[in-house]
């Protein structure tokens, strides 16, 4: 498959992201403590989660880690509004404090769905941690407990975020200029 064309304008640099991830980890350690299950929503959050769990280690937290893969975008740039579970957790959450990690909070549907699912399966508490908060796109009221950056209403790629599975490898977060609408 040919990568989509388009320029990527840097929004948050690699250094800015690193500094902010370290601060989030310290905040998580202070507010939640050391006994924690980190649940990353794949695929977009994998880079953020990897950096975050290393930063949590430096902050004295030894989290267990599990993954959920949810889908609502497909190959397009707009959410379908329907959440599909592609991969579910393998570890039990009953009675656990869970830090649910995602790359971006935009419509609110995915994180609301995932949080409710974890609570229904017995999690004691679920706190939300997102790298980016795009409040302009919110259709379901949900607020993150830990936020990296406020995000403008533009199509964002890099640092795990993609367009049609491209751009995830960028070490920064950027705006994809003129993404094709699918």
For 136, the token pair is 């302009």
Specify the residue for token string 């990296």: 148
Torsion angle (degrees, nearest 10) of CA 122, 138, 174, 1: 80
For 52, the token pair is 């975050």
Query: Annotated catalytic, 106?
Result: yes
The Cα–Cα gap between 94 and 61 comes to 20
Catalytic residue among 102, 106, 133, 162: 106
For 132, the token pair is 């980016």
- Positions annotated as catalytic residues are 106
């Amino acid at each position: 498959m040919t990568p989509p064309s388009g320029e990527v304008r840097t929004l948050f640099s690699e250094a800015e992201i690193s500094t902010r991830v370290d601060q989030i980890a310290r905040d998580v350690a202070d507010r939640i403590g050391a006994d924690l299950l980190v649940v990353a929503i794949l695929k977009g959050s994998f880079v953020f989660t990897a950096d975050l769990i290393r930063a949590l280690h430096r902050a004295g937290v030894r989290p267990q880690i599990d993954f959920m893969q949810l889908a609502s975008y497909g190959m397009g740039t707009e959410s379908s509004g329907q959440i599909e579970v592609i991969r579910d957790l393998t570890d039990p959450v009953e009675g656990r404090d869970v830090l649910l990690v995602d790359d971006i909070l935009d419509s609110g549907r995915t994180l609301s769905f995932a949080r409710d699912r974890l609570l229904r399966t017995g999690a004691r508490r679920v706190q939300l941690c997102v790298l980016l908060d795009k409040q302009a796109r919110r259709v379901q009221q949900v607020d993150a407990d830990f936020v990296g950056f406020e995000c403008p209403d533009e199509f964002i790629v890099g640092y795990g975020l993609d367009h049609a599975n491209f751009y995830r490898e960028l070490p920064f977060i950027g705006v994809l200029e003129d993404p094709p609408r699918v």
